[in-house]
Each structure stands twice: as C-alpha cells, then as structure tokens.
Amino acid sequence: MNILNADTRLDIHALLATGRLKKVIEEELSKLHTFGGNNPDPRLNSDLGIDILLDILHKYVKPASDLNKYKLVKIGWADAIENLDGWHTEEEALVWADDDDWIVHQVGWILKETDDYILLSNKHNDASCGRDSTFGGLFKIPKPWVKYCVVLTPCR
C-alpha cells in the first residue's frame, strides 16, 4: 500500500471509516510479504500482526475530516456595484439598476452560519500525516445579501 498516493490515502480514510481496513491489510500483506514461493510469512499475516498495524494506523493516520458535516452549497448573493461608464439619463440609470449583473454565484462548504453572515470555504485539505484539516478561499457573506442557497450533493 502506497500511503503517499493521494487516492490511496483517501481510500485508507474510507476504509478506516467503514471498518474494512483489516481485510485490505490482510490481502495486501499476503501479496507483498511472501517467502519460499507463494506462502505468506506467518508472522506478518497473523491476527496479532494485523491488529498492530491497525493500531498504528489509528494512532498516526489522522482520519480525514468528514466533509459531510459541512453543507456544500451554491449561494447567490448581491454585490455592490458601480457603473463607471460616465453620465446617464434617468431611464438609462433605471434600466442599468434593474439588471441582475450584481448577483454573484459562489460554491463552497458552509463552515459557519450565524444570523449575520455565512462563512464559506471553496478549498479544503483533509487531515493527514498528523496535521489538522485546513480550509482556504474563505468568504464571509452578510446574510441580508444572500438571494438563494442551494445544497449540492458532492460526487465521490
């Protein structure tokens, strides 16, 4: 098992969460650690050896943060805009004002929601190698500016 590979690391987290890791370790050890032909080394394939590996993984591989605890959303929010095209008649100004170009459509995970604002993150790095989860692309949107919020289903 190459735990440096990002896909494999995510698989390890999924296996930890579903309890299937012991079976995967048994299979990998039987493939990788053989001696004298195709016979697995009994020291590596014993229940004790597998339990030791599981203990090490649980102790040192920090489980991925569960993104399901954060809602993935698309939010439309009203932004303040300015027309820099010069002077306009009242009619032109009213037509410009009625346009919906001022709605920003943004996707991210809601990290916090209060009566006053929504805190979104559009980037996330799972906890791994003893580090905490990190979030980037933070955006704080005042609640009165929010025009719509749609909960999305993340693909896995």
Q: What is the pTM of this model?
A: 0.54
* pLDDT band at residue 118 under the 50/70/90 scheme: very high
pLDDT at 85: 87
Q: Which of 13, 14, 41 is nearest to 28 (CA)?
A: 41
pLDDT at 153: 80
Quote the tokens at residue 115.
């009566």
pLDDT digits (tens, 9 = 90+) for 126-150: 765 556 778 899 999 999 999 999 9
pLDDT digits (tens, 9 = 90+) for 60-91: 555 555 556 788 899 999 998 888 889 999 99
* pLDDT band at residue 5 under the 50/70/90 scheme: very low
pLDDT at 150: 93
Could you give the strand order of the β-sheet that contains 134-142, starting from the edge strand earlier in sequence?
134-142, 117-125, 103-113, 71-78, 146-151
